[in-house]
Amino acid sequence: MMPVLVGLALVVLACGVSWRATLGVERELSVAAVRAVAQLSAVALVLGIIFDHLGLSGLFVAVMLVAAARTGGRRMAGLPRAELLAGLAIGGAAVTTLGPLFATRAFPMTPRYVIPLAGIVVGGAMKAVCVAGLRLREEIVDRRAEVEARLALGVSARQALQPCLRRAAVTALVPAIDQTKNVGLITLPGAFVGMLLGGASPVEAARVQLTVLLVLLSAEAIAAALTTVLVARAVTRPGERVEAWSS
């Protein structure tokens, strides 16, 4: 319990720094910390029950996907069926990456492995979808005139939107790419640190962390790509017209 109390004390310190610097994010920091403690405590209790049941773990992963889809959908507000599109991108990335991981038995398909790995992948994919969706909305709204000009030249809607799609995907992937490139040099990821604190050897911790990191990078890339494809289709209308996206 003491490490959690120390962590909360540091959040209070961060709130003080925010107040002193007039950043105005004290409330957001406090709410985030309280929610993290409450949610993770509840999840810990739930996991203690479902760790022995693969079926219940699948239900838990489904709940993760629904929550992630709702979060991603909010970042694409104004787009028809935004939550569905976000869910397809996140779910597609999760299935594409976790499927081979368990099919090849890189990790045992047991609740103890399924739930943490699914949480990491779904969370990373959600982050990519949120950033890509938010950036896409800004790009399509702000560069409406440019898109219309390309359409007037006779290109397809997909080609007219391509610069917007590319910028959104690149922006969404910058954190994941930078984290992967600098792992071990600048950052020590959570799984690596957690295994070391749990008594695992550095070699074993590095093996597991490297696998997770590469899977996560792939999941985020696939999620960002799927987001651009799905959004492009959602805003394209018959006659190669691009529907206005109301923010």
Within-domain flag for 57: yes
Q: Work out the pLDDT band at 247, boundaries 50, 70, 90.
A: low
> pLDDT per residue over 82-117, tens digit each?
899 999 999 999 999 999 989 998 888 888 888 889
Q: Up-side HSE of residue 245: CA atoms within 13 Å toward CB?
A: 31
Within-domain flag for 94: yes
Write down the pLDDT at residue 62.
92
Q: Return the minimum-mean-pLDDT range out of 24-28, 128-132, 192-196.
A: 192-196
Q: Residue 93: name the closest of 50, 64, 57, 54 by CA.
A: 64
Question: Are 10 and 111 members of one domain?
Answer: no
| pTM for the model | 0.81
Q: Residue 245: name the closest of 132, 78, 81 by CA.
A: 78
Question: Are 234 and 157 members of one domain?
Answer: yes
> pLDDT per residue over 27-78, tens digit each?
999 999 999 889 888 878 877 777 777 778 888 889 999 999 999 998 888 8
Within-domain flag for 247: no
Within-domain flag for 199: yes
Question: Are 3 and 66 members of one domain?
Answer: no
Contact 245, 119 (CB under 8 A): no
Write down the pLDDT at residue 141.
84
Write down the pLDDT at residue 125.
96
Within-domain flag for 156: yes
Contact 122, 145 (CB under 8 A): no
Residue that finishes a domain, picked among 32, 50, 68: 50
- Does residue 25 surpass a pLDDT of 70? yes
Residue-number span of the structural domain to which 1 is assigned: 1-50
Within-domain flag for 19: yes
The mean pLDDT value for 141-154 works out to: 86
Question: Are 131 and 217 members of one domain?
Answer: yes
Question: Are 118 and 233 members of one domain?
Answer: yes
- Tokens describing residue 208: 């597991």
Question: Are 29 and 124 members of one domain?
Answer: no
- Does residue 126 surpass a pLDDT of 70? yes
Write down the pLDDT at residue 246.
64
Write down the pLDDT at residue 148.
85
Distance, CA of 191 to CA of 212 (rounded, Å): 8
Question: Are 112 and 150 members of one domain?
Answer: yes
Query: Residue 162 burial by CB count (10 A; 0-12/13-18/19+): exposed, middle or buried?
Result: middle
Write down the pLDDT at residue 90.
96
Write down the pLDDT at residue 223.
96
The better pLDDT of the pair 149, 240 is held by 149
Within-domain flag for 186: yes
Write down the pLDDT at residue 66.
94
Taking the alpha carbons of 130, 135, 141, 147 in that order, is the dihedral positive or negative?
negative
Within-domain flag for 135: yes
Question: Are 3 and 61 members of one domain?
Answer: no
Distance, CA of 137 to CA of 182 (rounded, Å): 30
| Contacts of 129 by beta carbon, 8 Å cutoff, 6+ apart | 68, 72, 75, 86, 89, 90, 172, 223, 224, 227
Q: Return the minimum-mean-pLDDT range out of 9-18, 46-55, 111-120, 141-150.
A: 46-55
Question: Are 167 and 116 members of one domain?
Answer: yes
Question: Are 88 and 25 members of one domain?
Answer: no
Write down the pLDDT at residue 87.
95
* Domains contained in the chain, number: 2
Question: Are 39 and 71 members of one domain?
Answer: no
> pLDDT per residue over 184-229, tens digit each?
777 667 777 777 777 778 888 788 888 888 999 999 999 999 999 9
Distances (CA, A) of 216 to 16, 23, 93, 148: 34, 32, 10, 36
Question: Are 46 and 74 members of one domain?
Answer: no
